[in-house]
Chains A and B, each alone.
Chain A
Amino acid sequence: MSTPADEAAAWVKDCVVEVHQGGGVGSGLTWAFDVVVTNAHVARAGRLDVRLPNGQVREAFVRFADRERDIAVLDVPRLGLPAVRRRDPAELRPGEVLFAIGHPLGVRHAMSSGILHAVGPLPDGYPIPPRLRRLPWVQADLRLAPGNSGGPIADAEGRVVGMSTMIVGGLALAVPITAVEALVRARAA
C-alpha cells in the first residue's frame, strides 16, 4: 500500500543521484537535460562519478561552481533522468511539511521528513560565520547527515524548494532553489 509520503517521495526520488569524489559521497539533483546540481563542497574535483538511481555510473564534469553560495553545476552526458519540479521557497509557510532525500552516511536514497522552520537569514547568535548567517536559507526542522549535501528538500507535493547544504545548531539549512536558478541563468547569459 502506498502512503501519501511514499507518493511525494517517489516524485523526487528519480531525480536524486549520488555524487562520488574520492572516498566521499554527496547527493545531487537533476536540473535539466544532462545537467545535475550539487553543493560546491561535494564537487571539489573537476571530474566526478555520478551514480544514478538504477545503479549505473556516469562520468560528470564541473561546468561551473559558486564556492561562496556552495553551488556546483555538473555536466553529466547520457544522464537520461527527468528534471526536478521546483517551487519558489518564498511561497512556503512555516509549518509546511518538507522532506529531504539523499544518501546520509552512505545510506542510499534515504528520506527524512519535518517541517519548514523559516525562510531567510539566521538570527544572530547561531554558531555560523556572519557572512553565511546573513544569506537567505531555507531552514528546515528535519534531520540531515553528511551525504545529504547537494540533495533536494521538497514540499508535500514533491516540488523542490532547496538544496541540503549544512546543519547549524541542529537546523537543516538548504540553499534556496531560486538561488540555483539565478546562478544558472547568470552563467548561461
Chain B
Amino acid sequence: MPSTLSSFSDQLADAVERGAKSVVSVHARPRLPSTGVHWRDGVIVTTEATVQRDENITVTLPDGRRIPAQLKGRDPGTDLAVLSIAAGQLPVATLGDPAALRPGHVVLALGRTGDSGPRAAFGAVSATGGKWRSWKGGEIDLWIQSDLTIYPGLGGGPLVAADATILGINSGGLSRPLATTIPVSTVERVITQLLAKGYVARGWLGAAMQPVRGGLVILSVEEGGPAALAGLMVGDVIGSLDGHAIEHPDQVLDLLGGDVVGRTLKVELVRGGKQQRVDLLVGERPRRAK
C-alpha cells in the first residue's frame, strides 16, 4: 500500500543512494575513519580536523576497494583538507546551489566508515545567512546551520539536498555542537588554493591596532613586516584602507581574508595631526610551524 509517507521515504533513500556514489571513507586517523567527497576527478575533500596524519592515508571507495591517497593541502581556517587519488575511480559529486536553501528545507548528511554501505542522517536547515568567519579565522561564504546530527565518522561528508545534489561539506568542529556546512563556493575556492600551494595564503600587515576616534591606532609594528616596510609607525591612526573607512579591526581581517596577498593597498592615516597617504604591500601571514 504505497502511502505519501512511503513515497517520501523512497525519495530520501534514493537521494542517499545517488549522493553516496561519490562519498568515500577516509582513513587518516586512528580507529574511526572519517568521510570524504570525490569533488573533482581524482580529488577528495574532507575536514581538516579528521586528517590527523600526513602520510599513509587511504580511502575506501563505494565499491569496497581501498586505495592510497596523498594529502595535497589543509586549511584549518575553513576545516578543509584535500587528498588526491587515481583518476577515474568513481563518479564525481553532483553539486547543487546552497544559496537556495531556506530554513525548513529537508537535508541529509552522508557518511561512509570503512567498507560498509553509506550512513545517513536526516534533518532540516535551521538557519541561513551571509558570509562569516570561523573561530579558526577562515572566511566562509554562507552560513548554513541544520539540526542534523553529525555522528562519529560523518564529519567531512556531504550535506545532500532532497534532489541528491551535494551542497557542501559538513564540519563537526567549526561550531560544535551545531552542524555547520562549508558551502560549495567556499570548498571550490579553498581546494583551488590547496591544490596550487598546499595551504591558503592569508593577508598580513604586521601591525597591532585598536579602535580610536577616527580609525584604528597602531599599537605595535612588527620589524620587517609589511606595515614597517610601508613606513607605518606606532601612534599612526589609520582612517581608511583600500578606499574603505575603517572603524574596527574586524574590517581589516575581512579585507585580509580575501585574495590580497601581493596587492598594494592605499592607506590614509593621521600622523601628528597631519593627513598622510602611504602604499602598503600586503604580505602573507607567517604560518605557524605544525
Contact = CB atoms under 8 A, between A and B. Distances in A.
A77 interface: no
A96 B3 contact: no
Interface stretch (A22-30, A38-46, A100-108, A122-130): A122-130
B153 A97 contact: no
B: interface residue count bin: 20 to 34
Contacts of A141: 120-122, 149, 151
B5 A123 contact: no
Interface in B1-33: 1, 3-6, 8-10, 12-17, 20, 31-33
B5 A156 contact: yes
A7 B5 contact: yes
Contacts of A171: 149, 151
A7 B119 CA distance: 27
A27 B4 CA distance: 28
Nearest to B113: A123
A137 to B, nearest CB: 12
Interface in A141-189: 141, 155-157, 169-171
Nearest to B29: A125
A91 to B, nearest CB: 11
A118 B12 contact: no
Interface string B103-128: 00000100001101111111000000
B152 interface: yes
Interface string A5-43: 101100000000000000000000000000000000000
A6 to B, nearest CB: 9
Nearest to A6: B5
B153 A125 contact: yes
Contacts of B113: 123
Contacts of B12: 95-97, 115
- Dominant SS among interface residues on chain A: mixed
A4 interface: yes
B13 A5 contact: no
A97 B5 contact: yes
Contacts of A139: 119
B213 to A, nearest CB: 50
Nearest to B153: A123
A72 interface: no
Interface-centre pick from A5, A114, A115, A126 (highest chain B CB count, 10 A): A115
Nearest to A92: B13
Contacts of B15: 95
A170 B123 CA distance: 14
Interface string A81-98: 000000000000111110
A118 B116 contact: yes
A160 to B, nearest CB: 15
B32 A125 contact: yes
Contact of A96 (B1, B13, B116, B117): B13
A93 B14 CA distance: 9
A120 interface: yes
Top 4 closest pairs, chain A to chain B, by CB: A125-B32, A95-B16, A4-B5, A97-B9
Given A118-B118, A118-B119, 17 more contacts: A4-B5, A7-B3, A93-B13, A94-B17, A94-B119, A95-B16, A96-B9, A97-B9, A115-B120, A118-B116, A123-B153, A125-B152, A141-B149, A155-B9, A156-B9, A157-B3, A157-B5
